[in-house]
Amino acid sequence: MSFEEIAKTFVRKDLPDSEVELVGEVPAEALAPYRNAALAHLAQEMEMPGFRKGHIPLEMVLKKVGEVGVLEEAVELCIQDLYGALSLAHNVDAVGRPDIRITNLPAGRQDLQPGNPVGITVRTAVYPEVVVPKDWKGLAEKFPLEAYTGDLPAGRQGSQTDPPPSAEDEAKARDYMARDKRRGKIIDALLEKTKVEVPNIFVESELEKIMVQMKEDITKFGLKFEDYLKQMQKTEAQVREEFRAQARKRAVLQLALNKLAEEEKIVADPAAVEVEIKHALEHLPAGRQVSPLSNEQLRIYIETVLRNEQVLKLLEGN
């Protein structure tokens, strides 16, 4: 059977939080060609006293991991090739790495003879359907710009050793705070009316960004994150959980902005992207190199930030 034919035999089940489960069987004859590759891969990764890594005899590898261990590795390799067919057959717009589990093993002899299929369950997050309010362009009208009369953040007033800011600087700072406060109200109104089931992988991604920024901020104050946790009498897991609601809000906002950018056909200006990439690379720590993958991630990040800003300005009526 071809991968396309195998994929069609799987059954799709939609789960909460934009997850999908695909359940089916892979015929033994489809797995058999992957057995030798699986055994060779295990041999490359295994460490054993008396042998250099990558030079362990295959029969010793098989004895150590067993036929089931080789089968599991073969399934992993097979799914890498089958996964594309599964996604197409069941219209799965997957995000992140799928969770693949063997639900049953061949009966009798463990030599993957025809007639002994392997049960497979594949669970993955999918890009969710995002429904934004139809009147989103009118949200800005509900929130007129109001003068900011509160205290300015320390970073916008100067420090005790710096001269006090001029009247012009203070006016600019108050204008910035007023516009920032209005933007926050518009965003909250948008999120209140946006409907989406957020995949947990998106929340975890935003949560990781929050934690990285938090650790960097703590380091700037001359503290170690471990010492900060001791002072707060909290574990890192507890701190992460405290920020989970904020991370979810950020994930919903990004999904909503993506949807609006798609509807309005908004993309980041290529020239501006190149300028920002050059600026970022010029400010890397001395001696640090950027891999092609990291460079591409940097480009995606900058494109997203610039595109988000264009969408937010549109939300604000600009």
pLDDT digit string, tens, across residues 141-171: 999 999 998 888 765 554 444 455 788 888 9
Q: Are residues 139 and 116 in the same domain?
A: no
Q: Are residues 13 and 96 in the same domain?
A: yes
Q: What phi, psi does 250 have (nearest 5°)? A: -65, -35
**Angle of helix 244-264 relative to helix 292-315, nearest 10 degrees?**
80
Reading the block at residue 291, the tokens are 């891999």
- DSSP 3-state of 159: coil
In a domain, 190, yes or no: yes
In a domain, 94, yes or no: yes
What pLDDT is stored for residue 161 in this prediction?
Answer: 43
Burial zone of 239 (CB within 10 Å; 0-12 exposed, 13-18 middle, 19+ buried): middle
Q: Are residues 9 and 110 in the same domain?
A: yes
The CATH number of whichever domain residue 58 belongs to comes to: 3.30.70.1050
Which stretches of the chain are DSSP H helices?
3-8, 28-31, 35-45, 58-89, 167-193, 200-220, 225-232, 236-242, 244-264, 270-282, 292-315
What pLDDT is stored for residue 286 in this prediction?
Answer: 60
What pLDDT is stored for residue 164 in this prediction?
Answer: 55
Q: Are residues 55 and 121 in the same domain?
A: yes
Per the structure, the count of domains in the chain is: 2
Spatial separation of the C-alpha atoms in residues 147 and 125, rounded to whole Å: 44
In a domain, 229, yes or no: no
In a domain, 280, yes or no: no
Q: Are residues 61 and 150 in the same domain?
A: no
Q: Are residues 66 and 144 in the same domain?
A: no
What pLDDT is stored for residue 159 in this prediction?
Answer: 42
Mean pLDDT score across all residues of the chain: 88
In a domain, 306, yes or no: no
- pLDDT band at 289; cut points 50, 70, 90: low
| pTM tops 0.75, yes or no | yes
Q: Are residues 162 and 142 in the same domain?
A: yes
pLDDT digit string, tens, across residues 221-262: 899 999 999 999 999 999 999 999 999 999 999 999 999 999
Q: Are residues 110 and 141 in the same domain?
A: no
Spatial separation of the C-alpha atoms in residues 145 and 178, rounded to whole Å: 7
Q: Are residues 82 and 163 in the same domain?
A: no
Cα distance between the two ends of the chain: 57
Q: Are residues 19 and 71 in the same domain?
A: yes
Spatial separation of the C-alpha atoms in residues 45 and 70, rounded to whole Å: 13
In a domain, 110, yes or no: yes
Q: Are residues 178 and 64 in the same domain?
A: no
Residue 21 has pLDDT above 70, yes or no: yes
Residue scoring higher pLDDT (139 or 49)? 139
- pLDDT band at 304; cut points 50, 70, 90: very high
C-beta separation of 267 from 307 below 8 A: yes
Domain range holding 193? 129-197
What pLDDT is stored for residue 64 in this prediction?
Answer: 86
| Closest to 31 measured CA to CA, from 62, 66, 3, 63 | 3
- Name 101's bridge partners: 121
Domain final residue, candidates 197, 220, 250: 197
In a domain, 256, yes or no: no
Domain final residue, candidates 197, 227, 246: 197
Torsion of CA 56, 57, 63, 66, to 10 degrees: 80
pLDDT digit string, tens, across residues 28-64: 889 888 988 998 888 888 888 888 887 788 888 888 8
AA letter at 13: K
Neighbouring CB atoms inside 10 A of 42's CB total 20
What pLDDT is stored for residue 154 in this prediction?
Answer: 67
C-beta separation of 194 from 130 below 8 A: yes
| Closest to 75 measured CA to CA, from 117, 105, 42, 31 | 31
Q: Are residues 10 and 113 in the same domain?
A: yes
What pLDDT is stored for residue 113 in this prediction?
Answer: 47
Domain final residue, candidates 78, 98, 126: 126
Spatial separation of the C-alpha atoms in residues 211 and 97, rounded to whole Å: 22
In a domain, 228, yes or no: no
Spatial separation of the C-alpha atoms in residues 202 and 253, rounded to whole Å: 11
* CB contact set of 87 (below 8 Å; sequence gap of 6+): 93, 94
What pLDDT is stored for residue 25 in this prediction?
Answer: 92
pLDDT digit string, tens, across residues 76-118: 899 889 999 999 999 999 998 889 888 876 554 444 444 578 8
